[in-house]
Structure 1
Amino acid sequence: MNNLEDEIHDQLSRRNFLGRSSAGLGAMALASLLNPAKALASSEENRAPGKPHFSPKVKRVIYLFQSGAPSQLDLFDYKPKLETMWGQDLPESVRKGQRLTGMTAGQSRFPLAASKFRFAKHGQSQMWISELLPYTSRITDDLCFIRSMHTEAINHDPAVTFFQTGSQQAGRPSFGSWASYGLGSDNQNLPAFVVLLSKGRDGDQPLYAKLWSNGFLPSVHQGVVFRSGPDPVYYLNNPPGIDKTSRRRMLDYLGKLHQEQFKQVLDPEINNRMAQYEMAYRMQTSVPETLDISKEPDYIFDLYGPDSRKPGTFAANCILARKLIEKDVKFVQLYHQGWDQHGNLPNDIKIQTKSVDQASAALIMDLKQRGLLDDTLVIWGGEFGRTNYSQGKLSKENYGRDHHPRCFTVWMAGAGVRKGMVYGETDEFGYNVVKDPVHVHDFQATILHLMGIDHEKLVFKHQGRRYRLTDVHGKVVKPLLA
């Protein structure tokens, strides 16, 4: 240990020499040269707010992201016109020359495909819901639907990245990271931003760590992935031969070395790194307790469905999401894969809805019975919608749908949003928004507003430019607010 200490002190001495050299570089300037992006984080302008701009209606968010893009036409947006025009070509006057993906651009025809699933009105709100979602249909009066979502992104990776970071290009901070940066943490033993992963079927679009990355924000705000199994967080457990006392002693010594380094370099990422080490140490106790659902009563497993007893499923992760927000985790992002259905949609969408319908509705009911829905917001939706015409061959029993960014549906439930409401409207073909459009940036601005954040004021300066989640766009959609 003495050799290590001597080596680090030797390195710090060299940095100290450089900082006081005739070149006139102080320690802060040297840190800027070594790592200009992170040195910016120490400026007054980039100091984390740590509290809302105004009184929030939402303290916590559970985002049930349906990766791959659910077909709004088979789930939420009922269009009888497609039934009367089944198999006919989509009129050019409706398509208006919209660019297509490479998967359908070569098609000579665009035959309209009505959903083969029945729709019915449900609840006092009389919302149209597909027979594929029998459990969701029971909670329609608690839901706020946006049927007029739209985006510029036409392919999965940029579209998911856009929803999660406000940009189609990688490198920006994720939604949960912005929330962590802006509001801080309410539980010092768990991260403010937690990510859960599940999938309904194999062979779907991959997910990447950039979707929960802190980007250029301090690394302490990065999303932490919790996995099923004996090792829920990578590298959290002590390696063989290291007990809790030894780890505590190592962290104390490492903390002293980091403080010495920080005095010389003044790079705030040094303290962020140490904070993460300390968080990991505390999580060794808090994570196993939080992720243990074995003590949940049988009626909870019955509520969420049979899959809830299987670790790593969407249903089990919904229970974990509830347990995490009970521990005051600020932002829980649950990604569920399997919605990319270009062919054989009627069969594949049955698999997907079966994996999410009961658990999604159960989460709302569970939060409600515990009083947690009063200050928790639940979001359900994907990155774009699906076309009203069939990709490839169309038959009465089978069809596929391509990507459709012009209009799609998401729903929200809980704190701050109106109940039993449908906002926005699409045309009779389900192809274009005709009333109250909501852009991705508007959606992000509205969620931040509910959390007590002015999206125009949550700013971080990076490489000479001031960034925010909504970039230079976005407006709060006030009719959605309760």
Structure 2
Amino acid sequence: MLLDPTRRQFFGSTGLRLGSTAMALMAGRAAAQPAVRVHPPLPGLPHHAPTAKAVIYLHMNGAPSQLDLLDHKPKLIDHFDKDLPASVRMGQRITTMTSGQARLPVAPSMFKFGQHGRAGTWFSELLPHTARHADDIAVVKSVHTNAINHDPACTFVMTGSEVPGKPSLGSWLSYGLGSVSNDLPAFVVLTPWWTSRGAAQALFARMWSNGFLPGKYAGVALRSVGDPVLYVQNPDGLGRDGRRAMLDTLGQLNQRTFDRYHDPDTLTRIAQYEMAFRMQSSVPDLTDLSKETQETLDLYGPEVKKPGSFAASALLARRMIERGVRVVQILHRGWDQHGNLPSEIRSQCFDTDQPTGALLTDLKRRGLLDSTLVVWGGEFGRTVYCQGGLSKTNYGRDHHPRNFAMWLAGGGVKGGQTYGETDDFSYSVAENPVHLNDLNATVLHCLGIDHGRFTFKFQGLDQRLTGVEEQHVVRPLLK
């Protein structure tokens, strides 16, 4: 394909001088633009004074059992192995995985619960490190969602819609508020491995996708093994100065293309090339944990030095927040426990509980918890009735979207409380229901955004994270 005349003229007149021009630009760039933000917020944002500057979202992919972790139902022991009463189920849908069972036997949790903090919040024995932060945590027991299967439910919890193609929460925040850091993306995703032997639901890129927003707002997934970002390092024989000169040349060509065709993806490419160049220095420093004290490493637990562990991911999340990253999303797999739940959930909590508690401790002692909103949860809950064989020490649970538990801490959240309540079987919300998009509206509010005014025009509609239905900020959760 021949170059257009304008581009040929460009090469002919400037090609020999691009190297020296790029070096001159490099020499003057730092002095000329010391305070320019590469990724600034949109004009007019935030809408109001935020209580949080950043979000760390801990997503337990596969749906953790609220009955075994946060929704204490001691009276269920009286219903062990009895059928779930029809007056509780009320003919509501169940998945095909248990619809063929002759019975729906009630399976009380085998784990002990205890009360923690000034308000006596109930936590399972599987979460001792998280429970120590009861006074900073608001447990929401009445979250509910629309989807009953993982794919649409995960899409919903991350994008506010079951329909693929919408931006994720992190992308919305990246688009609206940008990043304080010029050397790291505004939105970073970590996908640690898990120790449970159970099958794990797949993760898919739409959970951190930009959807219809420009591509530069997509989450950047750091790899857990090998180089955190593929090809971010220069190949052998190419130094930093040579890479800078090449990118300056490429940037000029892309700018000319944009001036001609006005394709916004061209600007996205320019921004991605520039961010990749800056990440060559920032990412190795970010992922180098050798500068952390031994006390800090011990705080996060024995797995912290293993690349790709949840512990290492939690520590990296704190380091990213310190460096100005706006949103860090950690997705931990393996929580889809249809059978052998007691053994598998122990493994999952071994992976995550100590690092989660350490993250809260670390943020708090560094003065970061007040400005960082931490969110923990899954895509839906688990059933009170058992899937498959039942004993007092072994059982499985099916999908349950009607109610499940999540918690929030920091960033303007009023800790030391439990919000919402479920019925005696943890089957339906009994008071203060919280739709997932109510929770999304609350997250946006903490970061200074009015969810109703935060829109993006697409396909003739003013699209928003919280959808077109009426959603509300859950104000009792806030200080």
Asked whether the two chains share a fold, i.e. TM above 0.5, the reply is yes
Residue of structure 1 in register with 2:32 after alignment: none
Residue of structure 1 in register with 2:276 after alignment: 280
Q: Do structure 1's residue 9 and structure 2's residue 3 form an aligned pair?
A: no
Q: Do structure 1's residue 366 and structure 2's residue 366 form an aligned pair?
A: no
Alpha-carbon distance change, 454 to 263 in structure 1, aligned in 2, over 3 angstroms? same
Q: Distance in 2 between matches of 1:238 and 1:6?
A: 30
Q: Do structure 1's residue 248 and structure 2's residue 248 form an aligned pair?
A: no
Q: Do structure 1's residue 219 and structure 2's residue 215 form an aligned pair?
A: yes
Question: Contact between 2:174 and 2:187, CA under 8 Å: does it hold in 1?
Answer: yes
Amino acid at match of 2:476: P
Amino acid at match of 2:389: K
Q: Do structure 1's residue 379 and structure 2's residue 372 form an aligned pair?
A: no
Residue of structure 2 in register with 1:148 after alignment: 142
Q: Distance in 2 between matches of 1:145 and 1:224?
A: 29
Residue of structure 2 in register with 1:66 after alignment: 60
Question: Contact between 2:438 and 2:473, CA under 8 Å: does it hold in 1?
Answer: yes
Q: How does 1:162-177 map to 2 (within 5 A)?
A: 162-177=156-171
Residue of structure 1 in register with 2:327 after alignment: 331
Which runs of 5 or more structure 1 residues have no equivalent in the other structure? 13-46
Q: How does 1:391-470 map to 2 (within 5 A)?
A: 391-470=387-466
Alpha-carbon distance change, 475 to 6 in structure 1, aligned in 2, over 3 angstroms? same
User: How big is the shift at 1:158?
Assistant: 0.7
Q: Distance in 1 between matches of 2:101 and 2:474?
A: 37
Alpha-carbon distance change, 373 to 403 in structure 1, aligned in 2, over 3 angstroms? same
Alpha-carbon distance change, 328 to 192 in structure 1, aligned in 2, over 3 angstroms? same
Residue of structure 1 in register with 2:188 after alignment: 194
Residue of structure 2 in register with 1:180 after alignment: 174
Q: Distance in 2 between matches of 1:192 and 1:307?
A: 27
Q: Distance in 2 between matches of 1:53 and 1:188?
A: 23
Q: Distance in 2 between matches of 1:300 and 1:214?
A: 34
CA-to-partner distance for each residue in 1:176-214, whole Å, 9 max, x for gaps? Answer: 000011111211111000001113235300101111111
Q: Do structure 1's residue 475 and structure 2's residue 472 form an aligned pair?
A: yes
Match of 1:402, SS? strand
Match of 2:60, SS? strand
Amino acid at match of 2:280: Q
Match of 2:132, SS? helix
Q: Distance in 2 between matches of 1:273 and 1:255?
A: 9
Q: Do structure 1's residue 102 and structure 2's residue 96 form an aligned pair?
A: yes
Residue of structure 2 in register with 1:307 after alignment: 303
User: How big is the shift at 1:48?
Assistant: 4.2
CA-to-partner distance for each residue in 1:397-447, whole Å, 9 max, x for gaps? Answer: 210000000111001110211110100000111111010000011000010
Amino acid at match of 2:474: V
Q: Distance in 1 between matches of 2:8 and 2:444?
A: 47
Identity %: 56
User: How big is the shift at 1:49?
Assistant: 4.0
Question: Contact between 1:50 and 1:181, CA under 8 Å: does it hold in 2?
Answer: no
Amino acid at match of 2:328: V
Q: Distance in 1 between matches of 2:150 and 2:139?
A: 22
Match of 2:128, SS? coil
Q: Distance in 1 between matches of 2:204 and 2:290?
A: 30
TM-score, length basis structure 2: 0.90
CA-to-partner distance for each residue in 1:77-110, whole Å, 9 max, x for gaps? Answer: 1112211111100011101111111101111110
Q: Distance in 1 between matches of 2:5 and 2:361?
A: 58
Match of 1:277, SS? helix
User: How big is the shift at 1:269?
Assistant: 2.2
Q: Distance in 1 between matches of 2:385 and 2:396?
A: 8
Q: How does 1:316-355 map to 2 (within 5 A)?
A: 316-355=312-351
Question: Contact between 1:50 and 1:184, CA under 8 Å: does it hold in 2?
Answer: no
Q: Distance in 2 between matches of 1:419 and 1:260?
A: 53
Question: Contact between 2:63 and 2:381, CA under 8 Å: does it hold in 1?
Answer: yes
Q: Do structure 1's residue 88 and structure 2's residue 82 form an aligned pair?
A: yes
Which runs of 5 or more structure 2 residues have no equivalent in the other structure? 11-40
User: How big is the shift at 1:327?
Assistant: 0.4
User: How big is the shift at 1:230?
Assistant: 3.9
Q: Distance in 2 between matches of 1:68 and 1:239?
A: 39
User: How big is the shift at 1:237?
Assistant: 1.5
Alpha-carbon distance change, 443 to 195 in structure 1, aligned in 2, over 3 angstroms? same
User: How big is the shift at 1:135?
Assistant: 1.3
Question: Contact between 2:192 and 2:224, CA under 8 Å: does it hold in 1?
Answer: no
Question: Contact between 1:49 and 1:181, CA under 8 Å: does it hold in 2?
Answer: no
User: How big is the shift at 1:7?
Assistant: 8.0
Q: Do structure 1's residue 261 and structure 2's residue 257 form an aligned pair?
A: yes
Question: Contact between 2:113 and 2:123, CA under 8 Å: does it hold in 1?
Answer: yes
Residue of structure 2 in register with 1:78 after alignment: 72
Alpha-carbon distance change, 295 to 229 in structure 1, aligned in 2, over 3 angstroms? farther
Q: Distance in 2 between matches of 1:236 and 1:158?
A: 33
Residue of structure 2 in register with 1:18 after alignment: none
User: How big is the shift at 1:6?
Assistant: 5.5
User: How big is the shift at 1:9?
Assistant: 3.0
Q: Distance in 1 between matches of 2:382 and 2:5?
A: 59
Q: 1:56 aligns with which of 50, 58, 62?
A: 50
Q: Distance in 1 between matches of 2:162 and 2:102?
A: 30
Between the two proteins, the alignment pairs up a number of residues equal to: 446
Residue of structure 2 in register with 1:42 after alignment: none
CA-to-partner distance for each residue in 1:452-482, whole Å, 9 max, x for gaps? Answer: 0011111111122221101113211111111
Q: Distance in 2 between matches of 1:8 and 1:211?
A: 42
Root-mean-square deviation over aligned CA pairs: 1.7
User: How big is the shift at 1:10?
Assistant: 7.3
Question: Contact between 2:191 and 2:224, CA under 8 Å: does it hold in 1?
Answer: no
Q: Distance in 2 between matches of 1:414 and 1:267?
A: 40
- Ranges of 4+ aligned residues in structure 1 off by more than 6 Å: none
Residue of structure 1 in register with 2:129 after alignment: 135
Q: Distance in 1 between matches of 2:151 and 2:118?
A: 38
Q: Distance in 2 between matches of 1:98 and 1:8?
A: 66
Q: Distance in 2 between matches of 1:448 and 1:420?
A: 21
Amino acid at match of 1:221: Y
Q: Distance in 1 between matches of 2:179 and 2:345?
A: 37
